[in-house]
Amino acid sequence: MANIVLDKLVKRFGKQVAVNELSLEIKDREFVAILGPSGCGKTTTMNMISGLLKPDAGTVRFDGSVMNNIPPGKRGVGFMFQNYAVFTYLSVYDNIAFGLRIRKMETEQIDKEVQEVARLLQIRHLLSMPASNLSINDMQKVALARSMVVKPQIFLLDEPLSNLDAALRNVMRAELKKIQQELGQTTVYVTHDQVEAMSLADRIAVMNFAVLQQYDAPHNIYNRPKNLFVANFIGSPTINFFEGRYRGGEFNLKDFSAGKMSVSKENKKQVDDSIRGEDIVLGIRPEHLKVGSSRDGVSGLKAKIVSVEPLGSKTIVYMHPDGNPSAILKSSMDSDFKPKIGEMTSLIINEKNLYLFDKKSADLVMRFGS
């Protein structure tokens, strides 16, 4: 049982600030994902939790006790890295038993623990195999088993699924979540893949340029992103942005030849109150931006269809807005939608799905429909 508190952590490499005043509280039994593009400081943060790196300022606390000067081996954390260190000269069994033997556990007890973990990860049939003969996928499971078997209170995972093929990544994602829910260790998971973060975590810490952008439940991160970066980073296909100005209850969007969109009466006051400057960015997720003419909420905005992605379960339509052929809009439609490439079409936007950002600060200032 352990909670983790990071208090104003700072880490510099030379002049480069890798992590800047990061404060994060991870509850006992919580699954937290640290999400960000490469170089955002997520792995550095993880290494400070594990003790591989010493923070330049700030404290790391486990259950209230300061860990800054405790070496990694004594912190009671289990790691699993991107390139899983499996000893290829040992059998799978010996690999998994390795950490237990170091802890001088009795042979019978070791056997019990190894069998239990192997059952959980469905690798019992592999136990007697030499680790060098494993496929990458199985190797991943062995690495996971090895770090799980010592029952650490805190489990640190650094992009553990990134070397797997797509099919297995799907399966392992669900397995990982299931295992964590069963064992209930506090888990910190570093990834650059928003799908993994969204699907696995109880809460997500989104980082960019060494700074924490938002720390919240997946649902809130998706629906109430704090700024343009978070909005853009979460969701696939990515959110659509329309730059423009707001004046007198009306948006004027730059990328469209007829880009006027007026705000409904109910929302006008709220927009007037929350707006910070005339220059704004409107955001709308692809699943809320529809194409066609027959439905309600036709916005008067026009776009030209340039590409269609029939993904089987849905169809993604790519468009250029009629005033800017280098911008790309994405719309997620039902799979039976059959658009014509090159066709000029109307955009259907329901006001309640809009996100309103201030352009200058990039912050979300208002979420329509909430």
Residue 286 in contact with other proteins, rule: CB under 8 A? yes
Question: Scanning residues 230 to 249, which ones bind other proteins (CB under 8 A)?
Answer: 234-238
Q: Give the whole-angstrom CA distance, residue 26 versus residue 2.
A: 9
- Residue from 310, 346, 352, 359 in contact with other proteins (CB under 8 A): 310
Q: Give the whole-angstrom CA distance, residue 233 versus residue 227.
A: 10
Residue 178 in contact with other proteins, rule: CB under 8 A? yes
CB-CB contact of 61 with 9 (8 Å): no
Binding mask 96-115 for other proteins (x = CB under 8 A): --------------------
Instruction: Provide the β-strand partners of residue 281.
Output: 243, 357
- In three-state secondary structure terms, 326 is coil
Residue 352 in contact with other proteins, rule: CB under 8 A? no
- Residue from 68, 122, 307, 361 in contact with other proteins (CB under 8 A): 307
- Given strand 211-216, what is the order of strands in its sheet? 77-80, 154-158, 186-191, 31-35, 203-208, 211-216
- Residue from 41, 51, 218, 339 in contact with other proteins (CB under 8 A): 218
Instruction: Provide the β-strand partners of residue 307.
Output: 318
| Residue 197, CA atoms < 13 Å, CB-side half-sphere | 31
- Residue from 316, 346, 350, 351 in contact with other proteins (CB under 8 A): 316
CB-CB contact of 275 with 281 (8 Å): no
- Residue from 332, 333, 348, 358 in contact with other proteins (CB under 8 A): 332
Least distance in angstroms from the C-beta of 355 to other proteins:
13
Binding mask 49-88 for other proteins (x = CB under 8 A): -----x----------------------------------
Query: b/e per residue, 50-66, with b = 16+ CB within 10 A?
Result: bbebebeebebbbeeee
Q: By C-beta, is 166 or 293 nearer to other proteins?
A: 166
Count of positions (residues) in the chain: 370
Least distance in angstroms from the C-beta of 238 to other proteins:
6
Name the token pair of 15: 């002049």
Binding mask 152-171 for other proteins (x = CB under 8 A): -------------xxx--x-
Part in contact with other proteins (CB under 8 A); list of ranges 17-25, 45-53, 219-227, 265-273: 219-227
Least distance in angstroms from the C-beta of 248 to other proteins:
33
Q: By C-beta, is 146 or 330 nearer to other proteins?
A: 330
Q: By C-beta, is 41 or 235 nearer to other proteins?
A: 235
Question: Which of 345, 299, 337, 351 lies closest to 319, judged by CA?
Answer: 345
Beta carbons within 8 Å of 195's beta carbon, 6+ residues apart: 236
Beta carbons within 8 Å of 183's beta carbon, 6+ residues apart: 148, 151
Least distance in angstroms from the C-beta of 15 to other proteins:
17
Q: By C-beta, is 268 or 314 nearer to other proteins?
A: 314
Q: How many CB atoms are closer than 10 A to CB 255?
A: 20
Q: Which residues bind other proteins (CB under 8 A)?
A: 54, 165-167, 170, 173-174, 177-178, 181, 195, 198-200, 218-219, 222-223, 234-238, 285-287, 306-313, 316, 318, 328, 330, 332, 335, 341-342
